[in-house]
Structure 1
Amino acid sequence: MLWLKALHLIFMVTWFAGLFYLPRLYVYHAMSEDEISNERFKIMERKLFFGIMTPGMILTFVFGIWMLVDYAWGMYASMGWLHAKLSLLTALLVYHYYCYRYLVDFKLDRNQHSHVFYRWFNEVPVLFLLAIVILAVVKPF
């Protein structure tokens, strides 16, 4: 069980690294004005999303679900903190999807947002991380 938890946490950190960095790349991409920078950001964003962020997300869920099936679900199924955490993870999947949508917009040169929008968008995963970690560690309800 501790190996599952360790792998779950490792891939959660990997996923969040991408969730923190990709929107920051969007900030710089939205500010870029030359074609060389534009193309460089497209490559960086694609590699981060498909090479680090999405595999991190998938493996976070694989090991998290594995832990639920093996151990926690029977023990914690009636506890509110787990349902709250799973709800936040569902919302985080929506955020991940929006990261993908903006990736496609930049790829097709149809970005509609300013760097200021992406600066705010970049702060959202911090809120998710705080809430999810507090729920998982403190188990307040």
Structure 2
Amino acid sequence: MGEFLADIYPWTKSLHIMSVIAWMAGLFYLPRLFVYHTEVVGSGNETDDLFQTMERRLLKAIMNPSMISTWLFGLLLVLTPGIVDWSMIWPWVKGLSVILMTWFHMWLGGRRMDFVAGTNTLTGRRYRLMNEFPTVLMLVIVFSVVLKF
């Protein structure tokens, strides 16, 4: 299996990067939709329904599949011989950051359900602040992988 993974390494890495880009786009955009939903739209009207549809489709059609493919291709990279040196710090930092990114993804899914139930209590300011979380994690991940500290 190791030789096969080594042979397809460029493909796996390419698909992993594309998956991460799609996932990050959703992680940046969904909280921004929540800001507008909270500050401008309100609840119980046609625009609320429109925003709920946009949020659901973003999460279900883009974010969930890209998160799953990010994990899949990332795990294949981890299993590829010679790619990860577990005696270094960077793979552990990246792994923890990816787990935190996945937690944030799930947290956003919970907030979407709050909008569906009409029970959102967070402010637009709070969503703006939370929107910085994936940015910080992205910086940690990229620096750890590229610099291999």
Q: CA deviation at 1:125?
A: 0.8
Tell me which residue corresponds to 1:51.
61
Question: Which residues in structure 2 correspond to 1:72-91 (within 5 Å)?
Answer: 72=82, 75-91=84-100
1:115 paired with 2:124, answer yes
C-alpha distance in 2 between matches for 1:71 and 1:101: 37
Structure 2: which 5+ residue stretches go unaligned? 1-8
Identity %: 35
Query: AA paired with 2:118?
Result: D
What's the RMSD between the two structures over aligned residues? 1.2
Q: What SS class does the counterpart of residue 71 from structure 1 fall into? A: coil
Question: Which residues in structure 2 correspond to 1:19-34 (within 5 Å)?
Answer: 19-31=27-39, 32-33=41-42
State the TM-score, normalized to the length of structure 1: 0.94
Structure number with larger C-alpha Rg? 2
Structure 1: which 5+ residue stretches go unaligned? none
1:15 paired with 2:23, answer yes
**Comparing 25-34 with 38-47, which one deviates more in the overlay?**
25-34
Tell me which residue corresponds to 1:124.
133
Aligned residues: 139
Query: AA paired with 2:78?
Result: L
C-alpha distance in 2 between matches for 1:71 and 1:45: 39
Tell me which residue corresponds to 1:95.
104
Deviation digits for residues 50-104 of structure 1, max 9, x if unmatched? 100111000001001011112346x412211101110111111111110011010
State the TM-score, normalized to the length of structure 2: 0.89
Tell me which residue corresponds to 1:36.
46
Q: What SS class does the counterpart of residue 52 from structure 1 fall into? A: helix
